[in-house]
Amino acid sequence: MILTTLAAAAGFDPEAATQAYLATLNGAARAKSDAYFEGGYWLLLWGAVVTVLVAWIELRFGWSAKWSAWAGHVTQRRWLRPALYALPFVLVTALLTLPWSIYTDFVREHQYGLSNQSFAEWSGDQLKGLLIQLIIFPLLLMAIFAVIRRSPARWWLWATLIVSAFTMVGAVIAPVFITPLFNTNKPMAAGPLRDQILGMAHANHIPAENVYVFDASKQTKRISANVSGLGPTIRISLNDNLLNRTSPAEVKAVMGHEMGHYVLGHVWRNLIAFTAVFLLLFVLLWWSAPRFLSRYGARWGVTKVADPASLPLLMAIASVLFLLMTPVLNTIVRTDEAEADAFGLDAAREPDGFAAVSMKLSEYRKISPGPIEEFVFFDHPSGENRVRRAMQWKAKHLNDAP
């Protein structure tokens, strides 16, 4: 028995196994995947350009100042004006960016065969998202501009805490109140696979008594899953594409990965990391926005950062910063994803399932980027790295008892 397992371990070549998996995506399919993902690099740049251009239009033609003046006419309550300002701002900004959204989120997705939605269905989801913005964004602006008015010297600190608080609340309420607006969630049918997923959850002290399946196939061909929510809203979910397109071993591998995010506390760690990012952003805004206004504010009809009319300027500066921070932001997320990969391999013990599903994900993610390319543009480990780590895990655990 021992000699057999040692021979098996000696005969398994993780690099050869990796290359065998990688060879299953080649030719036109690989070229298509690479083209889709590499095109996304340019979308980052052009997305920032679109944001800056829209902000310039809203400032240059005095629209932002007019919206702020309108809010001042409607109410004498200064704390309420940012919320009123947010209404035309959200609507007009959505209209100005609509051609870009149609191309990036609808046309391009159909060009690469990733979308299942008609234009009417896509538009319906966009309208739902717009309505959610019209509810949440005014509340956020009220809070941020209140601290800008009351604490001119330290508003960057209070704004950071406000955005972080909104982020945490969003993580709690999204699984229960927001995602059901876009997809139907149903309990997973009873059976061995459901029992195995819940068994993994309970073994790792995840307080879930059900697994939910959501109908993402009505929108996309992508596969996904998550352990979302905080406290009483925690739920384990997977989309129907994952269930229908993959084997039980692949499903377990994905769910082990997603459970890793919960067990390893990535929600809280990301909250801390992105709070630091928000802090940097608001310090930059606090320092730079008054300088822009002192130079151009008279032309725009905006003289103070405390005026909600300064919002397009703040958004433009933020978009440039986030573009420049792309490698940092991606590294934060990619580090967590790599840790969740390792956790998932240990939890599910399905290295071939993980490798196989990594190949499916590589239908729309470039599978073999260069190291600098992966560092800058990838928010997940590349498919090649994931497959290789799975095969290395398999080689290391060939002697384990079944």
- Using CA atoms, how far residue 228 sits from 168, 199, 382, in Å, is 12, 18, 23
User: Any known ligand binding at 380?
Assistant: no
Q: Looking at 109, 336, 341, 374, which residue is catalytic?
A: 341
Do 153 and 287 contact (CB within 8 A), yes or no?
A: no
Whether the CB-CB separation of 223 and 360 falls below 8 Å is answered with yes
Structure tokens at 104: 């990036």
Name the residue with tokens 């994952």. 242
Q: Return d(Cα 378, Cα 374) in angstroms, integer.
A: 5
**Catalytic residue chosen out of the listed positions 258, 336, 350, 374:** 258
261 labeled part of a ligand binding site: yes
Which amino acid would we find at residue 37?
A: F
CA separation for the pair 179, 237 (Å, rounded): 11
Q: How far apart are CA 144 and CA 286, in angstroms?
A: 12
CB-based contact 104:42 (threshold 8 Å): no
| Residue found under tokens 């990965």 | 257
The sign one gets for the Cα dihedral 111, 112, 117, 123 is: negative
List the beta bridge partners of residue 319.
none
In the residue annotation, 341 being an active-site residue is answered as: yes
211-214 and 235-239: which strand pairing?
Answer: parallel
User: CA 72, 76, 79: angle at the middle one, nearest 5?
Assistant: 85
Tokens, residue 93: 């900004």
Non-local CB neighbours of 318 within 8 Å, separated by 6+ positions: 281, 285
Q: Residues comprising the binding site for Zn(2+)?
A: 257, 261, 337
Catalytic machinery residues = 258, 341
